[in-house]
């Protein structure tokens, strides 16, 4: 977990609220009076900044493979995730929902597993028209976009949804922060299947297709490179994302979370994804995709 309180850094003369050690709700104009570790919130709806505080080096996590690879170095100093822009017509309820979801995402221990964010991130909440103007990697409308090392766009809740399904907003925010974390710790140069699968792994999001649908498509329609084909128009978007999630989970079953850390370190050192993948795992990307297909064939 992160060390230090989640703090909302807000304009002066703002009234703050927090739950004290006595379990009672307290109000005041000085958030520093809240006990260490308390969640402090503003009462007037001004822009949110989540401060994660100083973070220790991540603790080792259980994995299926052991490795002597060291975890990313500890970072120090404040790292913030800030709502910098929001639509003028964003309702008070939607804003509260956004702030709650983003606070939970930014403070998730699932980010700390990989070293946590190294630098601050700006978040813009946008309407559908503005999100459409940003596009996405495959030309479709997106619910969130991670840009570079420090910029995320999230669709306003009133615009969000997936057909008739509500958008899981906290998971969406954590998914995009997972992309940013990978950009910061490794690079943004990697195949789409790994990028989306890793971000879904970080957000603990399984996807919308069933495992049987994943297995059927990969085995019967995916060809020799099913993960690449899924994101080149071979599968619909929902199925492609679920396939990517299954692939990264399978990667971690085979090589452990340490395998991801090794892959990150090699990419951070300048290695291209395919070369880094082979050195980190002892298998080529092609061999891994064949192994993944064989694994899924047992489910049919």
For the residues 20-41, what does the mean pLDDT come to?
A: 65
Which of the pair, 68 or 172, is modelled with greater confidence? 172
What tens digit of pLDDT does each residue of 139-163 get?
A: 455 788 999 999 999 988 876 554 4
| pLDDT value of residue 70 | 43
pLDDT at residue 42 above 80? no
Question: Model pTM?
Answer: 0.74
- β-pairing verdict for 121-126 and 80-85: parallel
Give pLDDT tens digits for 100-141.
899 999 999 999 989 899 999 999 998 878 887 766 544 455
Q: Flag whether pLDDT at 60 surpasses 50.
A: no
3-state secondary structure the chain: CCCCCCEECCCCCCCEEEECCCCCEEEECCHHHCCCCCCCEECCCCCCEEECCCCCCCCCCCCCCCCCCCCCCCCCCCCEEEEEECCCCCCHHHHHHHHHHHHHHHCCHHHHCCCCCCCCEEEEEECHHHHHHHCCCCCCCCCEEEECCCEEEEECHHHCCECCECCCHHHHHHHHHHHHHHHHHCCCCCCHHHHHHHHHHHCCCCCCCCHHHHHHHHHHHCCCCHHHHHHHHHCCHHHHHHHHHHHHHHHHHHHHHHHHHHHHHHHHCCCCHHHHHHHHHCCCHHHHHHHHHHHHHCCC
- Please tell me the total number of residues recorded for the chain in this structure: 300
Domain ranges of the chain: 1-46, 58-185, 187-300
CA distance 135 to 60: 37
Rounded-to-integer distance, Cα 120 and Cα 145, Å: 16
- Domain 58-185 class? alpha beta
Mean pLDDT lowest for which of 18-32, 151-165, 177-191, 259-273? 18-32
Query: Does residue 90 surpass a pLDDT of 90?
Result: no
Work out the end-to-end distance of the chain between its first and last CA atoms, rounded to an integer number of angstroms. Answer: 40
Cα 60 from Cα 41, distance rounded (Å): 32
């Amino acid at each position: 977990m992160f060390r230090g309180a989640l703090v909302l850094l807000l304009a002066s003369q703002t009234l703050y609220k927090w739950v004290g050690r006595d379990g009672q709700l307290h109000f005041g104009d000085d958030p520093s009076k809240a006990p260490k570790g308390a969640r402090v919130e503003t009462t007037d709806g001004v822009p949110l900044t989540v401060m994660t505080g100083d973070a220790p080096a991540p603790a080792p996590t259980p994995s299926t493979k052991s490795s002597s690879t060291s975890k990313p170095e500890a970072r120090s100093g404040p790292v913030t995730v800030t709502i910098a822009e929001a639509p003028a017509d964003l309702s008070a309820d939607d804003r509260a929902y956004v702030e709650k979801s983003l606070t939970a995402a930014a403070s998730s221990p699932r980010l700390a597993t990989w070293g946590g964010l190294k630098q601050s991130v700006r978040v813009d909440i946008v309407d559908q028209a503005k999100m459409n103007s940003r596009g996405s990697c495959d030309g479709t409308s997106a619910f969130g976009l991670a840009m570079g090392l420090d910029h995320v766009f999230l669709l306003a809740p009133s615009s969000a949804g997936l057909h008739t399904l509500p958008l899981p907003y906290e998971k969406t925010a954590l998914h995009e922060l997972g992309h940013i974390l990978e950009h910061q710790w490794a690079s943004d140069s990697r195949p789409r299947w790994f990028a989306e699968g890793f971000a879904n792994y970080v957000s603990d999001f399984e996807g919308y297709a069933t495992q049987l649908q994943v297995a059927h498509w990969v085995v019967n329609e995916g060809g020799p490179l099913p993960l690449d084909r899924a994101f080149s128009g071979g599968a619909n978007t929902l199925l492609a994302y679920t396939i990517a999630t299954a692939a990264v989970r399978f990667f971690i079953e085979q090589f452990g979370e340490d395998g991801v850390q090794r892959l990150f370190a090699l990419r951070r050192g300048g290695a291209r994804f395919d070369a880094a993948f082979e050195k980190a795992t002892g298998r080529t990307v092609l061999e891994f995709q064949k192994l993944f297909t064989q694994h899924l064939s047992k489910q049919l």
